[in-house]
Structure 1
């Protein structure tokens, strides 16, 4: 039995979840098709998903195509939940990208297809809703070719388009138009096929074209397009046939070393943590001691139970092997993105931009802050990009966000699952700081003005954009105990979460240039005396002072997130729209006009996207269509925005030492 781990992806409301229901019904897994509107679909199991009619969390179900077990992963379509999609991409063998025949190629469709192509994930396209009024087949296929990729080929035609009786008629090998289009598409990417096509003088055998189609689809070079309707079932049989024939099944050696990736974490009815793992190699069994970790963190736990997906749902099993998706119990400290088994050198991959917005969460009544932090920590387990930011000074906690819908979902989840009512403050933009130059600082232990038994020297250098933070040492490895070295490195990472202006610092190299410590000592006939011996605390307390002094000498530039935008609007509304874009600090390129329609493209600060969305209907008589997506960070022009600090401000030495020394003596 083979396994295929298949993702269903789409722009919101294109019909992903409805297609999942239809696939399960056609495969005989469910007797009755659920409805998104009625809130009774198999994959939208959360109460909030049923109420809102959208997918918020990825869900796994399974069905069988001949000798293939398909683990189907339904993902969110709304851009505010793109992090859920990101976690799924790393575990897929193939994907079905759903496009609406009515709305056509939409903003999120483009983002998803670009990512699928970059990751070389074999992808079929399903054009849904051919039974709806306003459905288009020819123009949708043309839009796929123009806006997504020219490497698409329709696998059938549509009869009765836009009516309840619409159906898909698969092309046959006897159709010369289809075989010619298929030959030209495949020959462009296969030299041997091209030579046979040019030199043969006769049409290529259909079985050879089909073999080439399977090969090139499996290499993510071409993308077959199927038309149909998830509601009526039209075209779904052809899609299932395409999934079984054209997409590659999972590989991996079940007897090899254990290797897998955690792409989802949830809590069971008893509060226990359950990890969803895609296995790439080896086999995990109940009662195995399993190492896991990522990004320099390591853990180990005993697997107490295993579940695998079979005929629609997860069932208990003794083990889960290579190629399969399993649920593991007993790994209490495991996190999303962790590797299981061999974890050395594994880092979490990010395919989409991180959140660029944040907001303070305010509990009501204010006395519930402890319960709020616990609840948000539970949510952050399931979505690490929520990225809690605790402000101990103001007794506040903020969360990172992709958009306003995500804020509403967090608010509703806290109320329904934890009984906590919250409000949010105004959403603000998350900026970055990058060093403008090089800065150095060092302090000698127990020598004014340094009260700590630690000597530290640090240098901050700028690094290439996108490189993140690197830490290096120029002192001898044996010059200090490892625990003290480690304390400096860890504190550097923590301190750089807030730069000179309060924003995270990135794209820099921090180098340890000086080090010194007092060896473990004690008075005669007495126990260890930390007042005359260096501890990790000395280095943790001194590092922020030295690092922020070096950073201040280097100077930093604040960068704000910018979104690329594409605005389609009536040509006669270009005049009133351009001044509005200027007020929003957008930088549009020259507009293009074709007849009565115009297109504007350019960049706009992420902080102003929501405002543009609100003004657009009035500016364009309700006809404007806006597509936006994160593009890059740009240096702030004008007043530099600052974010209130959540630490005890190592930039203010007197305040910092007053708090730190009081904490130590206390």
Structure 2
């Protein structure tokens, strides 16, 4: 059996989960189709998902099409849960992007398609809801061609739009539209047409499958998840046009963890897609962060457009090991207990207590020959959370339980970036939006019995070095209480570069563990810069190193007071790093969203002053007919206010798309400060009192 790991993606309410139900019914996995409104779907299994009628967590369900086992992954559509989608992208062989035939291309549709194309994930488009009043497939096709990609091939036409009798008529032969799109990447097709006046449909279909598999073109299907119209054609398209999973079961073990949940007894269960090799019960697996110890490279990727500011880059953790105690493999509609999971499949693994979302299992995928030219799995594809709020328990006595509960939620969604301030006894989390805040609140109440409230949501900024700076402290000199020599230089790097750590000293000059302690501490300490924000887009170079060799008494006992340990380097590094950073200086940058606003042209006079008041900067303004379209940038902190004011400014006819784009320098007013949650290495005396309980010298 071949395998195909298929993602279902869409803007919220496009009918993604309903399509999943219809697919399961069509292939015979379920006898009765569940309803999102009734909370009876297969993939929305959380009580909160059933109550709210939205997908919050990704879910896997499996079925067979001929000789192919399809692992179908239903993902959230709401932008507040984009982190769930990001984790799924790393395991997909193909995708179906669902678009409503009524609403057409929406904000999240554009974000998803840009990412799918950039990652070269083969994608089919399914235009859903052709039975709904207002359905217009011609308008949707124009929108797809103009706002997503012109490389589309309609696989049929829709009839009876807007009625329960709506149906699709597939193209069963040669069409000039298909030839035009495919010949852009295949000169032989065009030559054959010029010579013979036609091209055999079988040849066109083969070219379509080949170019779809390379993500050059995107077949478009029409149908209705509610009535089942067009779904058979989509199933055939999945089988014939999307490539199956690569990877050899006998190769080196390589996989990635895209989901972690806890079982009834609180045990961790990891969802892993294997690219190579086979994992068996009782295997001891190595997993975690597999960056090169000699040059750790980027801590983050460039994000969707303009960088993620390196958030999440200080995650650390390194390589870890665990013994697999149980395995389940997705097949025939559910996860089935098995003794092993092989390349190309998705499995649930028990026994790996230290496993985290995003961990590489075995060797990195790019180290396997078949995947050596593919994009590494552990990169950020979407924007980081740009909002933060403090979570307060209704009862002060629940503060410890709240920390434990949020820690478990952070295991399932690392981007909430839990921060604990022991001085103020505050716990804060990062968020994408207000809906996510409501879900966190409901989850804490339903699963942990905790009643919580939230303080005002604030914007998460970042710091970048304004120049270069360096500092050094020598072992045994200048009131240095640590048995270590550390010298560091901080240099600015291009926007989106993240954090890089390099050595200008000999790697053999002291034990590697001490270099690793410095690097790990640098990444951790950069979580809070001069103004308390995470520092990103910089290169930190170690310029000096030194240590006290291991000393022993006459009886050969280890004398820790005379010998360097990793704790000496971990203690000294923040002081040196902050001294270098202070010399370099930093600037605070706030997140900016790109926006596209479409509204009646006669409302432009009211819109422009309102945008200016929100510090939004329109870069382009154009009109078509009675509508105007403004595109530009707006501070992330003002997006929610713009959404609230838009209906009143546009008589309810304005449409806003907004997504993270870049970080911009905070230009006016006081520089925003973030309270520190560390031992404050900016204040040497306070830091040493906290770290060593004594002041050096």
TM-score by length of 2: 0.92
Find out whether 1:545 has 2:589 as its counterpart: no
8 Å contact from structure 2 (residues 383, 660) kept in 1: yes
Show the counterpart of 1:661: 692
- CA drift of 1:365 comes to 0.7
Distance in 2 between residues matched to 1:289 and 1:204, nearest whole Å: 55
8 Å contact from structure 1 (residues 294, 343) kept in 2: no
- Listed one character per residue, the Cα deviations across residues 523-577 of structure 1 (whole Å, up to 9, x for unaligned) are 6668444333333222222221111111111111111111000000111111111
- CA 1:119 to 1:526, structure 2 compared with 1: closer, same or farther past 3 Å? closer
- CA drift of 1:145 comes to 1.0
8 Å contact from structure 2 (residues 48, 442) kept in 1: yes
- The correspondence for 1:631, drawn from 654, 661, 669, is 661
Show the counterpart of 1:330: 351
- CA drift of 1:95 comes to 0.8
Find out whether 1:312 has 2:333 as its counterpart: yes
- The correspondence for 1:302, drawn from 323, 346, 350, is 323
Distance in 2 between residues matched to 1:448 and 1:122, nearest whole Å: 61
Please give the secondary structure, in 1, of the residue aligned with 2:535: coil
Distance in 1 between residues matched to 2:49 and 2:533, nearest whole Å: 34
**Within-5 A mapping of 1:497-512:** 497-512=527-542
Show the counterpart of 2:311: none
- CA drift of 1:33 comes to 0.4
Distance in 1 between residues matched to 2:271 and 2:100, nearest whole Å: 30
- CA 1:530 to 1:300, structure 2 compared with 1: closer, same or farther past 3 Å? closer
8 Å contact from structure 1 (residues 261, 339) kept in 2: yes
- CA drift of 1:18 comes to 0.3
**Within-5 A mapping of 1:202-217:** 202-217=197-212
Please give the secondary structure, in 1, of the residue aligned with 2:673: coil
Unaligned runs of 5+ in 1: none
Find out whether 1:620 has 2:650 as its counterpart: yes
Show the counterpart of 1:33: 33
Show the counterpart of 1:72: 72
Distance in 2 between residues matched to 1:451 and 1:248, nearest whole Å: 60
- CA drift of 1:390 comes to 1.5
8 Å contact from structure 2 (residues 90, 378) kept in 1: no
- The correspondence for 1:595, drawn from 625, 631, 642, is 625
**Within-5 A mapping of 1:394-405:** 394-405=424-435
- CA 1:60 to 1:594, structure 2 compared with 1: closer, same or farther past 3 Å? same
**Within-5 A mapping of 1:508-519:** 508-519=538-549
8 Å contact from structure 1 (residues 293, 343) kept in 2: no
Show the counterpart of 1:651: 682
Find out whether 1:349 has 2:379 as its counterpart: yes
Please give the secondary structure, in 1, of the residue aligned with 2:44: coil
Moved more, 282-291 or 39-48: 282-291
Unaligned runs of 5+ in 2: 292-317, 368-375
Distance in 1 between residues matched to 2:575 and 2:638, nearest whole Å: 36
- CA 1:663 to 1:313, structure 2 compared with 1: closer, same or farther past 3 Å? farther
8 Å contact from structure 2 (residues 646, 654) kept in 1: yes
Moved more, 236-245 or 620-629: 236-245
- CA 1:524 to 1:601, structure 2 compared with 1: closer, same or farther past 3 Å? same
Distance in 1 between residues matched to 2:83 and 2:518, nearest whole Å: 32
- Listed one character per residue, the Cα deviations across residues 581-623 of structure 1 (whole Å, up to 9, x for unaligned) are 1111111124211222111100011111111111111111111
Alignment RMSD: 1.7
**Within-5 A mapping of 1:89-488:** 89-173=89-173, 179-200=175-196, 202-296=197-291, 297-343=318-364, 348-488=378-518
- Listed one character per residue, the Cα deviations across residues 404-444 of structure 1 (whole Å, up to 9, x for unaligned) are 11111111111111111111111111111111111111122
Please give the secondary structure, in 1, of the residue aligned with 2:347: strand
Corresponding residue pairs, total = 660
8 Å contact from structure 1 (residues 563, 630) kept in 2: yes
Distance in 2 between residues matched to 1:528 and 1:312, nearest whole Å: 59
Distance in 1 between residues matched to 2:686 and 2:322, nearest whole Å: 43
Moved more, 252-261 or 26-35: 252-261
8 Å contact from structure 2 (residues 688, 694) kept in 1: no
- Listed one character per residue, the Cα deviations across residues 103-151 of structure 1 (whole Å, up to 9, x for unaligned) are 0100000111111111111111111111111111111111111111111
Structure with larger RCO (C-alpha < 8 A, sep 6+): 2
- The correspondence for 2:563, drawn from 523, 527, 533, is 533
- CA drift of 1:83 comes to 0.7
Distance in 2 between residues matched to 1:663 and 1:444, nearest whole Å: 18
8 Å contact from structure 2 (residues 688, 695) kept in 1: no
Distance in 2 between residues matched to 1:515 and 1:281, nearest whole Å: 40
- CA 1:27 to 1:347, structure 2 compared with 1: closer, same or farther past 3 Å? closer
TM-score by length of 1: 0.96
- Listed one character per residue, the Cα deviations across residues 490-524 of structure 1 (whole Å, up to 9, x for unaligned) are 21111111111111111111122222333333566
Distance in 2 between residues matched to 1:8 and 1:611, nearest whole Å: 31
- CA 1:542 to 1:64, structure 2 compared with 1: closer, same or farther past 3 Å? same
- CA drift of 1:320 comes to 1.1
- Listed one character per residue, the Cα deviations across residues 28-74 of structure 1 (whole Å, up to 9, x for unaligned) are 11011000000010000000000000000010111121221111110
Show the counterpart of 1:48: 48
- CA drift of 1:189 comes to 1.4
